[in-house]
Chains A and B, each alone.
Chain A
Amino acid sequence: MLEDKLLILRFKHGGSEALRRIYEKYRLYLLKLAVALLHDVSIAEDVVHDVFVRFAQSAETIKIDGSLKAYLRACVVNSIRNRIRNNQTRAYIELGNAGPIVSEEKRPDQWASLREDSLRISDVLIQVPFEQREVIVLHLHGSMTFRQIAKLQAVSIKTIQSRYRYGLDKLRSILNGEVTK
């Protein structure tokens, strides 16, 4: 936390080393979050790339009251929500229609690629409605508390807890179905 505050200060004073450190510290975390939410590595890469470019250009104007991690996470999540709202990407896919994740065929200029055992997790996650998936991903991958997620989504903490529970139930039924097969 302290290190982040110092990084922000240096970044605000034009420090390229600070930007490098921020990038190296958070890119994997943000990419994982975006891929888990989107089930599309290519779009996830675009989202995280855009967030970092805007961040790199914002030294003069940026104002971060809380933690840097939370700020960048919020940028990624909001960008994904905007894309989904504008129908630029799929909110979720019905059971049985979940196709292979885009990154399965590796592009030469691909930034991120899912590990083999993660491909199946991604295929399963995309079958959960976005609102529920968002809570699961932010809680499990984003290390956010239900209270923080509730604040981010502007709903009550009970709603968030319910979405989490329903989401896990859905995942369980999908995975147990796979086991039965």
Chain B
Amino acid sequence: MRSADNIEKQINKFNLDINADKDRQILNELLQAQENANRSSDRPSRFSLRRMIMQNKKFSLTTAATVIIAVLLTITFLGKTPQAWAIEETIKALKQYNGAYLSGVCPGQTGSSVGFELWVRTNDTGTSTKNVLVKLDDGLMVWTKDNATYAYLPDQNTVLYEDAVTTGFSHFLGPELFELLSSIKDARTTYGYDSATGRKRAMLSGGMTDVSGAKFLQVEFDVDSKLVVSIKQWDNLRPQGTPTFHAFTIRYFEQLPDSTFEVHIPDGVTYIEKPVTIPEANLKILSNPRYGISSEGLTKEQASREILEQLYNAILDGDLKRIRNLAPVTESWPDDLLKNLLHIEHNNEIVQVLEIGGISRESASSLGPIVVVPVTTKRKDGTVWLANCIIQFRQIDGEASCVVHGPQGLPVQLESSSEIRN
């Protein structure tokens, strides 16, 4: 006789296989059905939501904290894989670390300093940030998942999200970061010894303006391991006032488990999409008529494609002057920094633009409309990368024109060219 338990076990064995070809065919049908439905519907609700967010004072106050965490990390411009440090052995030694834990202080939800803990993990090749989780003592949490960034604001029981990785390290906390910071204009390096351990330390400091605005960084490296031991950041070009980010404890890990990045938030939270914005500090240079291209007679879609084609042709040609003209935030960057960040003359430079997509998001700054356009490129090593480029439209003396502001967040490595988004 079979018991009830045995019957249940037997029924539980029930299973089936899926035909992969048919499966793909059905998925394609669904994606087509979705696209058709999207096309046939207008989207006023998205724009009303955006207006609501822009007008919501609480929103701007509480997002400040998330931006502050993000600014340190969005130094990149259009793409970056690490360059080799001069000492090959050091590189080999560093390969064993793919995770780090940082703790320190930063402004919390009310603007006063609170403690934070930050966990970060790179992808398998160590070329980009895969996961980030930041927890502030006041309950605010920021994390990245599936190429998007989320911030949980406990006071409002709200999760703000944006479809870009705006929190993360463009360079892992080792030689690549040292090399990048060294190429900042007027960067200074001072050497000394850690009083507690006697180990040699290098303090690199410098200010720059990138897509997230002005910042001054002070990063301390352990000279032997080339690993970062502390980071301070101010949101101005000189170290003025209280730092907006200060990590004074950093530990490195060979592996961090997935569970480290699991996030648990209460049920019933409200999700709000964060609008695309351009920092006020960058609007001045973006409004200069010397830069950009005319968009007279072109739709936003056509003008975006035109300026991005020109920009990427300039990158492929290594034409730094043209790059600075089309993307003026880079105007003050030294040649080395610009080349470093755009991979120009790099052993893993961009070799092909695979696709310049359609406008994926729209917003506005005080200068005029902003659009986001995905651009997919192929690197020399065959890897495929996606950067969401922000383009600012403006009217100057009655003439319509546009400039490239830079990428929204960090570029994302796609697993294959088949992942290219429409």
Contact = CB atoms under 8 A, between A and B. Distances in A.
A16 B422 contact: yes
A112 B264 CA distance: 35
B161 to A, nearest CB: 7
Interface in A13-39: 13-17, 19-21, 23-24, 27-28, 31-32, 35-36
Contacts of A105: none
B18 A59 contact: no
Contact of B273 (A13, A41, A49, A141): A13
Contact of A56 (B16, B22, B31): B31
A58 to B, nearest CB: 8
Contacts of A58: 37
Given A14-B38, A52-B26, A27 B18 contact: yes
Interface string B112-151: 0000000000000000000000000000000001101010
B232 to A, nearest CB: 33
B11 A136 contact: yes
Given A9-B271, A13-B46, A109-B22, A52 B14 contact: no
B246 to A, nearest CB: 30
Contacts of A117: 13
Contacts of B11: 121, 125, 136, 140-141, 171
Contact of B19 (A53, A113, A136): A113
Contact of B265 (A2, A15, A32, A176): A2
Contact of A6 (B35, B36, B145): B145
A175 B4 CA distance: 11
A16 B374 CA distance: 14
Contacts of A27: 18, 23
Central interface residue in A13, A24, A121, by most chain B CB within 10 Å: A13
A159 interface: no
Interface string A49-65: 10011001111100000
A-side interface mostly:
helix
A9 B272 CA distance: 9
A23 to B, nearest CB: 6
Interface in B1-54: 1-2, 4, 7-8, 10-19, 22-23, 26-27, 29-31, 33-38, 41, 45-46
Nearest to B262: A2
A122 interface: yes
Contacts of B31: 16, 19-20, 56
Interface string B149-164: 0100000000001010
Chain A interface size range: 35 or more
A71 interface: no
B18 A176 contact: no
Interface residues of B, number: 44
A31 B2 contact: no
Contacts of B15: 32, 114-115, 118
A58 B38 CA distance: 9
Contacts of A111: 18-19, 22-23, 26
A168 B37 contact: no
B263 interface: yes
Given A2-B264, A9-B161, A121 B14 contact: yes
Contacts of A176: 1-2
A53 B30 contact: yes
A146 B2 CA distance: 23
A41 B7 CA distance: 22
A5 interface: yes
B19 A175 contact: no
Contact of B2 (A10, A15, A28, A172): A172
Given A17-B421, A109-B19, 11 more contacts: A6-B146, A16-B31, A21-B146, A35-B16, A53-B30, A53-B33, A111-B18, A114-B16, A118-B14, A140-B8, A168-B7
Closest 8 CB pairs of A and B: A57-B37, A56-B34, A56-B33, A56-B30, A111-B22, A121-B14, A14-B38, A118-B14
Interface of A: 2-3, 5-6, 9-10, 13-17, 19-21, 23-24, 27-28, 31-32, 35-36, 41, 49, 52-53, 56-60, 109-115, 117-118, 121-122, 125, 136, 140-141, 168, 171-172, 175-176, 179
15 contacts: A6-B146, A9-B161, A13-B273, A16-B31, A16-B35, A16-B422, A56-B30, A56-B34, A109-B22, A113-B16, A114-B16, A115-B17, A140-B8, A172-B1, A175-B7
